[in-house]
Structure 1
Amino acid sequence: MYARIDTDELAGALYDEVSVLSVGDILLRRARQHPGRVLFRFLDEQGREEDVLTYGDAWRRSSVIAAELAGQGAAGDRIALFYPAGLDFIVAFLGCLLAGRIAVPLNLPSRRRVDRCQRILRDCGCRQVLTVAALEEGLRDILAVDADLPLAWLATDTLRDEAEVAAVLPPPADDRIAFLQYTSGSTSHPKGVMVSQRNITTNLRMMRNAWELDHRSNTVFWQPHHHDMGLILGQLLPIMLGNETVLMGPNTFVRQPLIWLDAISRYRAVLAGGPNFAYELAAQRWQPGRLEDCDLSSWRIALNGADVVRATTLERFAATFGPLGYRPATMLPCYGLAEATLFVSGGPVSELPRLRSIDARAAESERRVTDDLGGTGRIVVGCGLPSQEIDIAIVDPATGERLEADRLGEIWVSGATNALGYWQLPEQSAAIFAAEIADEPGCRYMRTGDIGFIGADDGQVYICGRMKDLLIVDGRNLHPEDVEYTIIESHPLIKPQSCAVFEDERGEQRRLVAVVEADRELKRALPDIEKVLRMQVRRAVSEEHGVAIADIVFIAPATLRKTTSGKVQRSLMKQLYQQDGLDLLQPVAVSDAV
């Protein structure tokens, strides 16, 4: 059982009624109780405070936007949100919720993302775009869509911040759609996940209870606001908690990850986190003496999710930042996905992550998890206990049968946190969100597409990879994430999140291919070390996985295709490879193939 949480002055009504209150209702109550309390601080690229938003400001500004939206269109209209990193996005998003409009958070289009953005606008039937004045003209030019889909534009930062606005009645936490979270599109065209008001509130409550959070639990986040982790965890959870949260742009973190740690120290954050690569990057960029006054002792929960969690990363991060007050038990691996709103499993807090060394051969051939006591097995990290409000089943994807603990299968999730389905895709929605386990009729499950197991001894969820990305090499089932990690670990010049591994089925044999993105340092060194580097990569993969890489190609910096949440788009990289569309640094000679 989770501990009873000591909450603030809103404890009585707010926390008892949280199952029926929407985010807008919670914000209104907090704005009335403590309008001057800081909700968000936003840091610039140097880690300095650039903007501050109080609870009162958040309610007032979002109400102004809601009143403006109420004067045009109708409830249920889809509203696209294009915002740079900062605090303008969250008040626009809240304004959409208060007005009963369906928000569609989107990443700012770049040269490679214009088609994706246009496709989403057409898919959701968007009629209006919210942004800031500085970006409006440029966005109008590059986001021109079909003539039969005209767009109305509103620069929300130009609206008068009225002291009093017309009364806004926040919608209840029911099943009306709150926003569309377009999936990252790592294996297909993006699909709009329909997230309801009830989904949001349920998921926020699950996280609050699982991690024992309250209004004193300050947080620091850098994830993009158009991504489910950045939106739900970084920007909506603070409203439920009534805490103070520090935000920064994802580019700030990627360029200077130590600013993230400094912010945790300065603002005495209890909760902060990111994908596994965030911890790898921070440890890589550590410089002795850089954070002399940094004190990480307040950090109680270091969330690690959205990617495969690596035991070596946990060890490296703890060894690097232990002298600054970081504790290994702070690390809290977790699991979630947009189709479940966000959070599925993670916790309990203040316990060391669970590590298991399993027999890789048995897992690959028999889909059975057995402990490897010889020290040569594959180390997998537990992603915590499922929330008490959902059911997780491990299912044989071929037969639909529920599997027992310590058996590998597809992860299925049932509960009120599951989204309503995919926007205007009824057949796919039924297949994914209304699955039934064989011989267990009447209970709807959501198929995640992730492969994993439930630990027999600890009940934790262990994630092993994606079904669609599974590699079948010489009769063995391999997860590309594992091979990519081995390649990254094989040489210090190969950086995290810089590799894509896939199969090339052309010809008579299936060939394993690795595409490695070079940063500027590797690009300079490559002419001198290319031959040695290829040998090291091949040796490491052969020794670790027992398979041979037929082709290794190096591509130019910033050309590895990733989703908006930072995941490698393997299917797209495979397509580019087969079409000779990669920006190669060194053409691969035929004689290089094994």
Structure 2
Amino acid sequence: MSEDAVTESRLEPTTLVELCRYRASREPDRRMFAFLENGVEESDSLTLAQLDARARAIAARLSGHAPPGARAVLSYPPGLDFVSAFFGCLYAGLIAVPAPPVLRVGVDDRYTRFRAIVNSCRPDLLLSNASRLDRVDALLKDMPTSRRPTSVATDEISETDAYGWNAPHIDPDTVAYLQYTSGTTGPPRGVELTHGNVLNNLSLILANGTRATEDIDRLPPVVSWLPVFHDMGLITGVLQPIYVGYDAALMPPTAFAQHPVNWLRAISDRGAGISSAPSFGYELCLRRVSEQQLRSLDLSGWRIAVVANEPVRAEMIDQFSAMLAPYGFRREAFFPSYGMAESTVMLSGGPVEPEPVIRRFDAVALAKGKVQRAGPEDEARRLVGLGQLHPSMTIAVVDPATGEPCAPDETGEILASGPSIGTAYWNDPEETARTLNATVRGHDGRRFLRTGSLGFLDGGQLFVTCRVADLIVVDGMQHYPYDIEAAAAESHPALREGRCCAVTVEDGRCARLVVLAEIDSRYSVAADAAPDRPSGVRVTVEAGEVEEAIREAVFAAHGLRADDVLLVKAGSLPFTTSGKLQRAHCRSRYRAGAFETV
């Protein structure tokens, strides 16, 4: 399919409401959305006509409860009710606020995130389906009555209400929804995304990936297990399909997490051409999908495998490609990209290349903040390029302390400017000024987003090395926590893969390197035990042995001394609901002595 044909198949809308109504008018009976409740079997579907009718009915009802511009928090279990309710908010001119599904008060990440979102945006409405609404509403019983939102079960609204709908007065500058950040380095913040921001990013994503669909007559479907309350899941599974014309098969995140092969099987069964995941999704497949499970799969139709997050490991791309090549997966399908909630989702990515861009850089130079291609005999770091920039985007690399532009051969904080960048953080003018309205010398009149990521541009590709807040500096040399954590995790079989954390903690005199490591549940740790001695169904190992293995591995790989090593129970390290390790939270908990050691 040519790029002209793709462009011709859709209107150039000015709002997401125009987009959905146009798509429904063109193909009303098209079953655009399907839901795979157990990750395998289709349990629900939604045609474009049904989506439009449901959205109009929900909008008509919600308009009786709150005026345009009011906030509506959406807390839904996995399924298609969210899709109808999200567009129902837009059709009413309300600001949709996607939030995680929660059912009980607790200290888990989803409840913490849900309460943080509610406390931040102070919603007028709380939306869910009837089976869950009372339990979700009960989570807010401690709020003052004057601040408690009105609860609405959207699945109980009759489609006959659609006849009472009146189109809202909205334009490209109207805020469509608040996309809350993942909370990796601080509390979640609500990014105000306008209809114009979102449509620009949808166009950018299409432009960067068009080449992969140029030679086919009908666009292949999308398969997604990503939570729709996160930026990547909302764009990949809901908005991009409507913008471009993909059919979408959605499944619960738990259906993937419990059985990762479900994701690959759905791609195979539906001939899906596009599917996206953070790096940890591909890593989980490597660890938990067996050769026997792969034998019946055909992944030859998977044309774009979007991978995002920091970092995207070259080794993961090598291993995943090799494991799935016998079943039709092509290495060329990998589409590394970079983005964040503040940029709607994508900042850079593609264009679709013969292969992902992986380059060797001098490791010693990088440790000094310099960018230098590695020679054949040099100690090298293989870094994955996270794509090129769309012409609408501008990137500046600056010193994170001074804001001054870096030289082309220096690493620095990545700043981005373009029409996909959100307008503000909800009710947070100070952070808006600091993060979303930065200025850069030589770019007068432009506002820049401070991404908080270190990196550089090389040969037209964006490379991201580390979060500014996570960078470990010892004796003037820069070290990336991901590398230290990988070395630690591989040092002993009793450690959980991907469940180590490396941070520095100031003690008043110097920065101390601390490694936190989760013990695999198959092992029992004792202060003084004979290694490999069976203890029930578990193996008992000596704590000192594991700690020493970590210290030796970190020193051998990086020349660093681990000043403290803590062995903690499985599940102790905090991760965001999008799977990102919260190193700042780990540092705070370590200082407070809040980790329970094994």
Structure 1 length as normaliser, TM-score?
0.92
| 1:544 and 2:557 matched | yes
CA distance in 1 between partners of 2:251 and 2:219 (Å): 20
Preserved contact between residue 561 and residue 569 of structure 1 (Cα < 8 Å): yes
CA distance in 2, matches of 1:278, 1:148: 42
Q: Which moved more, 1:498-507 or 1:249-258?
A: 498-507
Segment of structure 1 superposing worse, 169-178 or 92-101: 169-178
Q: Is the 8 A contact 1:277 1:496 kept in 2?
A: no
1:143-188 C-alpha deviation (Å, 9 max, x unpaired): 2223331221001111123395234426655111111111122222
Residues 357, 377 of structure 1: 8 Å contact kept? yes
Q: Which amino acid aligns with 2:202?
A: L
Alignment of 1:99-248 (within 5 A): 99-109=92-102, 111-112=106-107, 113=109, 114-144=111-141, 145-162=143-160, 165-169=163-167, 172-212=170-210, 216-248=219-251
User: What's 1:322 paired with?
Assistant: 325
Distance in 1 of aligned mates of 2:538 and 2:480: 29
Deviation sequence 1:559-580 (CA, Å, 0-9, x none): 3211121111111122222222
Decide which structure has greater strand share. 2
Contact 1:79 1:101 in 2 (8 A): yes
User: Are 1:452 and 1:463, in contact at CA under 8 Å, matched by a contact in 2?
Assistant: yes
TM-aligned CA distance change 1:91 to 1:477, over 3 Å: same
Asked whether the 8 Å contact 1:82–1:106 carries over to 2, the reply is yes
- Residue 326 of structure 1, CA deviation: 0.7
Residue aligning to 1:398: 401
Farther off after superposition, 25-34 or 90-99: 25-34
- CA distance 1:197–1:360, shift in 2 (3 Å): same
Cα distance in 2 for residues equivalent to 1:437 and 1:517: 42
Distance 1:56 1:529 in 2: 63
- The one-character-per-residue Cα deviations of 1:508-543 (angstroms, maximum 9, x if unpaired) are 442211222344335575632644443333232222
Residues 490 and 234 of structure 1: is their aligned pair in 2 closer, same or farther, counting only changes over 3 Å? Answer: farther
Runs of 5+ consecutive residues of structure 1 not aligned to the other structure: 587-594
Contact 2:364 2:379 in 1 (8 A): no
Q: Which whole-Å deviations, capped at 9, do the CAs of 1:407-429 have from their partners, x for residues lacking one?
A: 21111111100100111112221
Give CA-to-partner distance per residue, 1:40-98, whole Å, 9 cap, x none. Answer: 11112352112111111111111111111111211110111111111111111111111
Cα 1:6–1:435, aligned 2, differ >3 Å: closer, same or farther?
same
Aligned twin of 2:86? 93
Partner of 1:290, secondary structure, is: helix
Question: 1:453 and 1:286, CA in 2 relative to 1: closer, same or farther beyond 3 A?
Answer: same
| Residue of structure 2 equivalent to 1:534 | 547
Alignment of 1:412-491 (within 5 A): 412-455=415-458, 458-491=459-492
Over 3 Å counting, the alpha-carbon distance change for 1:238 and 1:549 in structure 2 is same
- Post-superposition shift, 1:387? 1.6
Distance 1:406 1:219 in 2: 39
> C-alpha separation between the residues in 2 aligned to 1:237 and 1:510?
45
The 1-side partners of 2:139 and 2:281 are apart by 32
What is the distance in 1 between the residues matched to 2:168 and 2:308? 32
* More displaced 10-residue stretch of structure 1: 398-407 or 100-109: 398-407
Would you say the 8 A contact 1:122–1:149 is kept in 2? no
Taking the aligned partners of 1:461 and 1:28, their CA distance within structure 2 comes to 36
1:115/1:282 CA distance change after superposition, 3 Å? closer
Q: Distance in 2 between matches of 1:168 and 1:489?
A: 60
**How far apart, CA to CA, are the structure 2 residues paired with 1:365 and 1:3?**
46
Q: Which moved more, 1:303-312 or 1:489-498?
A: 489-498
Distance (whole Å) between structure 2 residues aligned to residue 557 and residue 196 of structure 1? 41
Query: Structure 1 residues 164, 5: closer, same or farther in 2, change over 3 A?
Result: same
Q: Which stretch of structure 1 is more off in the superposition, 280-289 or 171-180?
A: 171-180
Secondary structure of the residue aligned to 1:202 is helix
Q: Which residue of 2 aligns with 1:48?
A: 41
Correspondence for 1:580: 593
1:321-344 deviations in whole A, cap 9, x for unaligned?
Answer: 110011111111100011111111
Which whole-Å CA distance do the structure 1 matches of 2:514 and 2:313 have between them? 23
How does the TM-score come out when normalised to structure 2?
0.91
Structure 1 pair 558/194, CA: closer, same or farther in 2 (3 Å)? same
Task: Report the alpha carbon displacement of residue 351 of structure 1 after superposing the two structures with TM.
Answer: 2.0
Contact 2:223 2:250 in 1 (8 A): yes
- Check the 8 A contact 2:280/2:579 in 1, yes or no: no
Matched residue, 1:589: none
Contact 2:398–2:415 (CA under 8 A) maintained in structure 1: yes
The DSSP-based 3-state class of the residue aligned with 2:242 is helix
Compute the displacement of 1:469 (Å).
1.4
Higher deviation after alignment, 25-34 or 315-324? 25-34
Q: CA deviation at 1:137?
A: 1.8
Partner of 2:532: none
- Give the secondary-structure state (helix, strand or coil) at the position aligned to 2:301: coil
Using the alignment, how far apart are the partners of 1:159 and 1:246 within structure 2? 24
Specify the alignment match of 1:555 in structure 2: 568
Check whether the contact 1:181–1:228 (CA below 8 A) recurs between aligned residues. Answer: yes
Helix, strand or coil at the partner of 1:498 = strand
Q: CA deviation at 1:136?
A: 1.6
Q: Secondary structure at the match of 1:148?
A: helix
Letter in 1 for 2:134: E
Q: Distance in 2 between matches of 1:208 and 1:40?
A: 19
For residues 161 and 403 of structure 1, do their structure 2 counterparts lie closer, same or farther at Cα, with a shift above 3 Å needed? same
Whole-angstrom CA distance in 2 between matches of 1:472 and 1:71? 56
Q: Do the aligned partners of 1:281 and 1:496 also contact (CA within 8 Å) in 2? A: no
Structure 2 unaligned runs (5+)? 525-536
Structure 2 contact 310–464 (Cα < 8 Å) conserved: no
Deviates more, 1:294-303 or 1:531-540: 531-540
The residue aligned with 2:358 is 355
Does structure 2 retain, via aligned residues, the 8 Å contact 1:301–1:350? no
In 1: Cα distance, 2:436 partner to 2:192 partner: 11
Please list, as runs of the form range in 1=range in 2, the aligned pairs for 1:341-352 lying within 5 A after superposition: 341-352=344-355
Q: Distance in 2 between matches of 1:148 and 1:467?
A: 41
* Greater alpha carbon shift after TM alignment, 550-559 vs 178-187: 550-559
Residues 335 and 91 (structure 1), Cα distance of their counterparts in 2 relative to 1, 3 Å cut: same
Cα gap change, 1:203/1:46 in structure 2, threshold over 3 Å: closer, same or farther?
closer
User: Contact 2:299/2:327 (CA < 8 Å) preserved in 1?
Assistant: yes
- Partners of 2:494 and 2:546 within 8 A in 1: no
Which residue in 2 is equivalent to 1:411?
414
Provide the secondary structure at the position in 2 that maps to 1:188. coil
> Partners in 1 of 2:83 and 2:523 — Cα distance?
38
Paired with 1:179 and 1:549, the residues of 2 have a C-alpha distance of 44
2:265 to 262, 265, 276: 262
